[in-house]
Amino acid sequence: MKILITGGAGFIGSHVVRRFVNTYPEYKIINLDKLTYAGNLANLKDVEEKQNYEFVKGDIVDAIFIDQLFADQDFDAVIHLAAESHVDRSISSPLEFVMTNVVGTVNLLNAAKKYWTGEYLNKRFYHVSTDEVYGALGEEEMFTEETSYDPHSPYSASKASSDHFVRAYQDTYGLNAVISNCSNNYGSYHFPEKLIPLAINNIKNNKPVPIYGKGENVRDWLWVEDHARAIDLIFHKAESGTTYNIGGHNEWKNIDLIRLLCKIMDRKLGREEGASERLLTFVADRAGHDLRYAIDSSKLQKDLGWKPSLKFEEGLEKTMDWYLANEDWLNGVTSGDYQTYYTEQYSER
Ligand code: NAD
Ligand code: TYD
């Protein structure tokens, strides 16, 4: 089987590529990535020499390039992760999210439609999406696969749109498609614009840790390797047309999560208790900030026997250990453009 994985040099994509390359030596894995600020080939150093792995640099927004790639390579399946993924960036540059997340996805769907004609049943288009398409929850309920879409940020609106296109290609052209919508991931190789790696990096460097609003927003955190394992299961076992929600049953208010992180960091860095917590700084809230996300993953648990493998505290410790042991990676991704981004994003808050 020849599988095109898009966005494989990013955070989740690199874990999916690593899992597939190592678990299925009989498959050929082609990683297509534009290498934006979020894509980094250092995320895949340990698999880059493997026989069953190949990297292709390219942009999914370039329809001619995508068409040619499908013409040249006889793909059996696509696992599509390439996206602009950061809500704050979507607030300042929404059009980039429309281009990559919507137009890029439609380009891939068009190529699949053109080159897989008549053989849809043996092919598979796996679209990796987010729980943010469902909007924000109050205090009680959870997102199920039947929850209506109600996206609020340009990021979630673009992901919702791409989900609709995937379903439309399934309904209209019979494409063999599956979609999963996952909650917030955390783990190694996570770009430090997102809350957990940003906080780890700032605490390590004794810099203020920005908390939006009052820190009351709730996210449901899942270890990234558990997400990659769910993608593997769904890719191989789900029926065409199925959607699965993936989540950690692990809800945390941002402020409680960051306080826990500070406590563990104090211990790991040999600081006096409470030292890291003094870095917490409440800043202006994110516009349109969704209050709460929580995933009901019982369908995935029941149908395919998946469940999260790690307790959150264990996963957080592993993650912090990884960041502390991989200073070069962290310094590499936080030099240059990151400094400009950080100043623009946080100086006015
Ligand atoms: P990421 O930002 O870390 O990585 C995205 C990757 O896509 C990068 O390697 C980037 O270079 C590549 N890319 C961006 N634009 C491209 C283009 N035009 N052409 C080719 N490649 C391009 O993102 P992530 O956090 O790893 O998320 C991966 C996928 O999972 C996304 O589709 C995202 O919506 C979804 N998701 C993420 C989370 C999360 O918590 N991070 C949760 C649920 C779903
Ligand atoms: P983030 O990691 O950006 O993921 P998402 O917005 O996709 O859920 O943010 C997680 C939560 O943390 C969200 O409620 C916003 C909040 N947050 C902060 O409080 N401070 C920050 O500097 C960042 C990046 C996020």
For residue 209, is pLDDT > 70? Answer: yes
Confidence of residue 72 (pLDDT cuts 50, 70, 90): very high
Cβ–Cβ < 8 Å for 168, 318: no
Calculate mean pLDDT across residues 85-93.
97
Cα–Cα distance between 131 and 133 in angstroms, integer?
5
Domains and CATH numbers, the chain: 2-186+221-246 (3.40.50.720), 195-218+251-285+311-344 (3.90.25.10)
Give me the residues paired with residue 6 across strands. Answer: 32, 80
Confidence of residue 117 (pLDDT cuts 50, 70, 90): confident
Secondary structure E strands in the chain: 2-6, 28-33, 53-57, 77-80, 124-130, 177-182, 184-186, 209-212, 218-223, 243-246, 251-253, 280-283
Ligand 2 atom at minimum distance from 290 CA: 14
What's the chain's average pLDDT?
96
Report the 10 Å Cβ neighbour count for 71. 11
- The reported pLDDT for the residue numbered 349 is 77
Q: Which of 33, 59, 84, 131 is catalytic?
A: 131
Give me the residues paired with residue 253 across strands. Answer: 218
> What are the C-alpha distances in Å from 269 to residues 200, 204, 262, 311?
11, 8, 10, 22
Give me the residues paired with residue 129 across strands. Answer: 181
Calculate mean pLDDT across residues 27-41.
98
- The reported pLDDT for the residue numbered 23 is 98
Which residue's CA is the nearest one to ligand 2's atom 6?
87
* 132 is a catalytic site residue: yes
Say which residue, 64 or 248, is predicted with more confidence. Answer: 64
Q: 185-194, pLDDT tens digit by residue?
A: 999 999 999 9
For residue 204, is pLDDT > 70? Answer: yes
Cβ–Cβ < 8 Å for 163, 129: yes
**DSSP run (H or E) holding 70:** helix 63-72
For residue 311, is pLDDT > 80? Answer: yes
For residue 119, is pLDDT > 70? Answer: no
Calculate mean pLDDT across residues 299-323.
96
For residue 120, is pLDDT > 70? Answer: no
- The reported pLDDT for the residue numbered 181 is 98
Residue whose entry in the numeric block shows the structure tokens 């696509």:
78
Calculate mean pLDDT across residues 67-88.
98
Q: Which ligand is nearest to the CA of 160?
A: 1
Q: Is 9 in the pocket of ligand 1 (CB under 6 A)?
A: yes
* 161, two tokens: 């749109």
Q: What are phi and psi of 3, to 5 degrees?
A: -115, 130
Cα–Cα distance between 340 and 334 in angstroms, integer?
10
* 251, two tokens: 């809800």
Cα–Cα distance between 110 and 219 in angstroms, integer?
34
Kindly give the distance from the C-alpha atom of residue 48 to the centroid of ligand 2, in angstroms, as a whole number.
Answer: 31
Which residue's CA is the nearest one to ligand 2's atom 7?
87
Strands 243-246 and 177-182: parallel
Cα–Cα distance between 212 and 194 in angstroms, integer?
12
Strands 280-283 and 209-212: parallel
- The reported pLDDT for the residue numbered 336 is 84
Confidence of residue 290 (pLDDT cuts 50, 70, 90): very high
* 313 is a catalytic site residue: no
